[in-house]
Structure 1
């Protein structure tokens, strides 16, 4: 069971799925989808058509294997989240003030500052410097020693989680569109009502015309469409390429490839119902948020131990960052310089 769990959560599996999905998408782009068998036979020959049809390359995005890959990707994401979220949440929410200066010295990035002043002065200076850099602080005084835990950018830990959830949303939107959405072409003639598939209403082409450039080339196509629902005219709009009409979740686009010889009384519309598109857009936006958080917000944690030593205080500072260790080093240097500017003598790494 553990082997299956590790396999389903592996990065290698995710990479393989993305590779196969990309390959399928490329095939679906190179091989025009939804043509008649005769058109495929004319283009590829009967032998190749049988092979293409067998593996559903004529309808890639509704094929059993493409859907199976999407389901497997969803499972991979779910298992990855179940495996990583507990550790991410612990790192995001944990507060650790139960430590000594010996622990601080074990960090890769650490320093010691002999501070010319008493413990209270050292504490105030450290806390002031940390708050000035937007750190959130917790402090514990224990037997004359002071332990300070400081953290900022914890939300950076959630970037991968947000990205994974966003991909879930994209998959859900795509599955919804695949299950109950459709896309196709609808020929319409002037004055002839046409029933809209799955729309339970009709449309009428009132007028179709073409604008031309001075050199005689087609500039744009226009169709004035009336929507009739329950016997009443409920909507009328003149559409053109890239300016569609929408009614009851169904979009009507002006096709830009019409033979001008048939233009006076005929137009061809592309119709589409994509109920998952808003979910896909929401997932895409959330994915951008997750990536921005992952790339530009870093979770930094500092452990500061202040201990008395004769007539001065010793300040031990150690820190870690989930990413951008160079930035952590720079920030620790600035923090050290700030503390030294008041009472610090010199740092010892």
Structure 2
């Protein structure tokens, strides 16, 4: 039974490390990424945007499948883990042989070994002894940027090597992909994107998550908004929004910063981006001129009152109290009902509650831009709007991505690995003294690249030509010396 279980496990590991499994997983992951790109994702959409684009039945189906937040679903994280396991097992299976070649390169050669190499040249020694020929070749190759290894030269082998690290390029790429996958899994499990709206003076310790489930996420600290605003160009058009934010941790303010669209506040790995700015639909303060006719028939001078939500104002001479009952910033009639088209105070409708000195309560509607629509005023007090200051809020996009450093580090390592794999070739050249095809003493030169054979062949022939010239020149000098 144990042997059977081991056999099944071996088969499973063999399949998981296979190229076929890797291709299936890579295709599935690519399909998931395409789906996540084509379908709107909750972390990147505005509130209500998905419901506007898709039919209700489609929303329910895609939501059930997790396709509105692909990159945080359990099955996407599982695909990343399985592909990472495939890369790890495949690398472990092939890496020992590559590491042996990297750590213990074959530096010594004989005549037979050189003749088996794909690129070979025979260079006559002439009058030179083997030691002299090797010394001349070593000097010339060093001048050309291909210095032979001294230890091999001492044992009679001219060994030149360049870019040995290129052998490790595939495994650097694999390691970088694993690092990226680990970062993505960490983001998928513990990261989130959220949104929060704050008015000046407001605080929050949590944000509404924009990912699947939508449960509020605890920040672990308090975020306070001290101010919001908008900068304008000289022509009055909006330039940029800003928010003055502060972070309180354990009851103490630890950081305070004015953020802009591309300049977020970061604390404990949580980033707050300026996303939007606008009115809340609630007035901060309204200023009215109130006039009324007293019991003596005389009209009293206008009294200016300021109203804020929840703070009534008093008309001193009449003894009446006025409070804000309802505010519609941009009213429109929908049948017999008043509703608002937006939160901007383009066409406000204001309902005031008036309580007279005798305790009688009446309601008054004020339409500053459409006075003809105002119903009869039973209070006997006329109100004219003189000033309106809206309450503004800032919209903050919140991102906690604990795996981002790993992802960026993996991307840098991936770039390095790809550069090594694409532009570096492990080049090895051996040279030994032996006999050429005519039985004469010769320097037998052989080389082998890991890739780019055509480029290597050209360079190998150039180096061999340089060595032949160097040996011939040295031989000519000896001949001249003998003649002299």
Same fold (TM over 0.5): yes
| 1: CA distance, partners of 2:472 / 2:393 | 86
**Alignment check: 8 A CA contact 1:118 1:312 kept:** no
Q: 1:156 aligns with which of 138, 156, 166?
A: 166
- Cα deviation, 1:158-180, whole Å, max 9, x if unaligned, reads 11111111111111111112222
**Paired residue secondary structure (1:23):** helix
Aligned twin of 1:187: 197
TM-score normalised by L of structure 1: 0.87
- Provide closer, same or farther for how the CA distance between residues 344 and 88 of structure 1 changes in structure 2, counting only shifts above 3 A: farther
Match of 2:70 in 1: 60
Match for 1:131 among 114, 121, 142? 142
1:16 equivalent in structure 2: 24
Task: Indicate conservation of the 8 Å contact 2:137/2:467, yes or no.
Answer: yes
CA distance in 2 between counterparts of 1:319 and 1:61 reads 49
Equivalent residues of 1:226, 1:236 under 8 A apart = yes
Deviates more, 1:252-261 or 1:70-79: 252-261
Establish whether residue 176 from structure 1 lines up as the match of residue 259 from structure 2.
no
Q: How far is the alpha carbon of 1:281 from its aligned partner? A: 1.2
The structure where helix makes up a greater share of residues is 1
RMSD: 2.8
Equivalent pairs counted in the alignment come to 342
SS of equivalent to 1:275: coil
Residue 268 of structure 1 corresponds to 395
**Alignment partner for residue 420 of structure 2, among 270, 280, 293?**
293
Give the match for residue 91 of structure 2: 81
Question: In the aligned structure 1, how far is the partner of 2:228 from the partner of 2:166?
Answer: 55
Which residue of structure 2 lines up, in the alignment, with residue 93 of structure 1? 103
1:264 Cα deviation from its structure 2 partner = 4.3
- Distance in structure 1 (CA, Å) of the matches to 2:69 and 2:266: 26
Between the aligned partners of 1:307 and 1:40, the Cα distance in structure 2 is: 78
Instruction: Name the CA shift for 1:219/1:37 in 2 (closer, same or farther; >3 Å).
Output: closer
SS in 2 for 1:190: coil
Tell me the secondary structure at the aligned position of residue 198 of structure 1. strand
State whether structure 2 residue 322 is matched by structure 1 residue 302: no
Q: 1:239 matched to which residue of 2? A: 259
- Name stretches of at least 5 consecutive residues in structure 2 with no aligned partner: 1-6, 207-216, 280-342, 346-389, 474-484
1:308 to partner: Cα distance = 6.0
1:143-197 CA-partner distances (Å, limit 9, x unpaired): xxx3333322101111111111111111111111222221110111111222234
Rate the CA distance shift 1:258–1:344 in 2: closer, same or farther, 3 A. Answer: farther
Q: CA deviation at 1:16?
A: 3.3
By relative contact order (CA 8 Å, sep 6+), the higher-ranking structure is 1
Q: Deviations over 1:256-311 (max 9, x none)?
A: 47568398421110111111111111111111111111122211112212126899
Contact in 2 for aligned 1:239/1:254 (Cα 8 Å): yes
Deviation at 1:253, TM superposition (A): 0.5
Separation in structure 2 between the aligned mates of residue 76 and residue 201 of structure 1, nearest angstrom: 40
Aligned partner (choices 394, 399, 404) of residue 277 of structure 1: 404
Note if 1:250 corresponds to 2:270.
yes
* Partner SS for 1:175: helix
Name the SS for the 2:105 alignment partner.
coil
In the alignment, is residue 326 of structure 1 matched against residue 454 of structure 2?
A: yes
After superposition, what is the alpha-carbon deviation per residue over 1:202-234, rounded to whole angstroms, capped at 9, x for unaligned?
Answer: 122111111233454322111111222222222
Q: TM-score normalised to the size of structure 2?
A: 0.64
Q: 1:209 aligns with which of 226, 229, 236?
A: 229
Q: Which one of 250, 253, 276 corresponds to residue 230 of structure 1?
A: 250
2: distance between equivalents of 1:135 and 1:16? Answer: 46
Rg: which structure is higher?
A: 2
Aligned residues of 1:190 and 1:207 also touching (Cα < 8 A): yes
Q: Give the SS at the match of 2:448.
A: strand
Query: Structure 1: which 5+ runs fail to align?
Result: none
Kept in 1, the 8 Å contact 2:278–2:392? The answer is no
